[in-house]
Structures are given as C-alpha cells and as structure tokens.
Amino acid sequence: MGPHHPSTHGVFRMMVTLDGETIVRLKPVFGYLHRNHEKLGENTTYLASMPYTDRLDYLSSMTNNWAYALAVEKLAGQPVPERAEYLRVILAELTRLLNHTCLAGFLLQDTGCSGTPLMYAFREREKILDLFEALSGSRMMYNYQRFGGCRVDPSPEWLAAAQRLADGYGAFLDEYEALITGNEILMARTQGVGVLPPDLAIAAGVTGPMLRASGVDYDLRKVDGYGVYPRLPFRVPLGAHGDTYDRYMVRVLEMRESLQLLRQAFRDLPAGPIMDPKAKIRGFKPKPGEAYGRIEGPKGEIGFYLISDGTGNPYRYRVRAPSFVNLTVLEDMCLGQTVADAVIILGSVDIVLGEVDR
C-alpha cells in the first residue's frame, strides 16, 4: 500500500486485490474504534451526551455539538436567541476553515509532499484552536452548545481576535494556493484520479464537499436554511469532474466562502442573551415524540435522530455520520486506479474514524 499507509487516517484497513499495480477489488475494514456511542446516548441524559458528540470527529467538535443541539431543540420545540444563532454560524465556519485546511495538508502529505504543506496547515489550525480554547476552556473537546443557546458568551476581546483571524485567513489561502494549487505534481497525482460520478454519489447518499465536487448542487445551509444562514449570502462551489483534484479545489473555494460568511456574521452579530431564559437544562424531559436534526458539517451532513418517551434519556439515539456514508464509495473510486492512488483517494474522502466507527 505505498507510499503511505492508510492508518495515516486512523485505525483503518483496506483489503486490496491487485492485478499488477492496478486495483481490481478493495474492501474497507473498520470498526476497530467502536465505542458504543449510540447505546451510550440511550443510557444517559440528553445533556450528558453533548460531550460525547465532541468525540465523534475531533476536527469538527463545534459542528457536532450544533447538530445534536438542533435535534434536541426540534424535539422539545426549544427556541434559540438570535445572538446564539450568529455565534453558532461563526463557530461553524471557523470549524470549516480548520477542517478543510487540515484536509489540504493531509492530502498533500498523502501525495508524497512530506512536511511543508502539512506544517503550514497545522500552523493555521493552531490559531483557531487557541480561539476555541479561550472560549470553551478546552482545546479540542468543547462541549459548548446547549439546548436553547450556547454555554459562554464570548468577550469583546475574543470577538476582536476571531475577526482578526478571519481577516488574515485570505492571505494565508493566497500563500497556500500559490504553493499547492498549480503544482504540477499535485495535478498529475490527482486529476482524473478517483472519479466519483454524480449519479453514484447521489445513489450512495454522499454529502458535503465530496458530493459538490461531483457537480451536485446540494448544501444543507441552502437546502434547510437552518440558523441564520438564509440572511447571509454565499456561493456553493461545484466541481466539474468529480476527481480528487476537484475535491481539493471545492474545499479551498469553500474556505473562501466561509470567510465571506464570517465577515457578515461578525458585522451583524446582535447584542442580547446567548441562552433562552426558559430553557431547561437539568432535569430535561421532552414530551414523547421524535426528531431529526442535521446541519452541513465540514465533511457533509451530520445528523442526529432522537426518539423521546418522556423520560430524561432518549429512547432511541442515532447518528448520521458523513465520514461513514462517504466511505461506502471508496471501492468504486479506486477500481482501475494504481495501488499508489488508493491512499490519495482515501485522503480526499476526508474521514475521521471516531465518526465512522462510533
């Protein structure tokens, strides 16, 4: 499996059958990181599950928190103050920057560009982690969202620092693209490699940048219009070929749209409470019913399905994890490619095994 091992992307195994160097069969093998996440969710209170959602995807903890909070809020009919809705957009778009920057660094690492692109990506990631730590008290496991709002109101100093970071991120992207996007080795290793046709992507339930790289215009921020996204204009970048290079480019373009969203959210962020004063956190027991809450996470549709029987724990708790669903087409993308392409294609899917295995 040269030149890089698939465990670069977690505890993951691929059973590959080759004809010479050409892949004729590939079966993903996973489950090594299974932690009974969903059963834990059914045996603990609604609030106590929030920190577990952090651990599904350590790169996207903030958006995982939001998707779970949204599901519970739909279940309970819980409103959210406007300031909290804007804060959620700010944190979600910072998370998208963090996730996509790391994806670009790891993808370049997979192609054999060891060191520099990944270190550049991690330098910017650290700046966002510093912000999240200052806000939540934790570097990666934030436990920040609450049903009916957010746990902590950011200080004016934090908001100023976050805005400075967003204002300077465009210069980083310019520098990064000058280094990477037109690189002839990257293009040779990724263009026409791992093509995902749009009809297969739709049939397999693929979502997120991977679906949009195949040319399918589907983004839950537009489709569902949750939060305050309908007030914030932005473009949905689409690919034309569905190959590995398009999956890289769509993420770069999405980062530029995230900067546009951040500028608007900082500008329009209203004063006011960050929690609905009528929200009940402890002793929370929603009426019997069911709800599915989903958002456009950095990797695609992250959703939580809950059934309440009127007690303090969910009767059913299920996660729709984008890494898991997007991984199901790995073999289709790899058939006919060379063995050296398999890890690059896997890297372009953008998985975190905590979310795949749960």
pLDDT in tens, 127-167: 999 999 999 998 888 899 999 999 999 999 999 999 999 99
d(CA 307, CA 13): 34
Residue 41 exposed, middle or buried by CB count within 10 Å (0-12, 13-18, 19+): buried
What pLDDT was estimated at residue 209? 95
pTM: 0.89
d(CA 41, CA 52): 8
d(CA 268, CA 335): 48
Q: CA nearest 210: which of 329, 338, 318? A: 329
Q: CA nearest 110: which of 253, 250, 247, 5? A: 5
Secondary structure class of 353 (helix, strand, coil): helix
Token pair 């192609």 is found at: 111
Highest mean pLDDT among 71-75, 123-127, 141-145: 71-75
- Look up residue 338 and give its DSSP letter: B
The predicted model gives 214-233 an average pLDDT of 94
What pLDDT was estimated at residue 3? 47
Higher pLDDT, 181 or 68: 68
Amino acid identity of residue 302, one-letter, is: I
Helix H or strand E encompassing 38: helix 37-42
Q: pLDDT band at 7, cuts 50/70/90?
A: low
Specify whether the CB–CB gap between 6 and 27 falls below 8 A. no
Amino acid identity of residue 261, one-letter, is: L
Residue 272: partners with Cβ closer than 8 Å, 6 or more residues away: 81, 82, 83
- How wide is the angle at C-alpha 346 spanned by C-alphas 248 and 348, nearest 5°? 10
d(CA 50, CA 145): 8
CA distances to 5, 31, 48, 91 from 10, in Å? 10, 11, 26, 25
What pLDDT was estimated at residue 352? 83
Q: pLDDT band at 221, cuts 50/70/90?
A: very high
Count Cα neighbours of 135 within 13 Å in the Cβ-side half-sphere: 31
What pLDDT was estimated at residue 118? 82
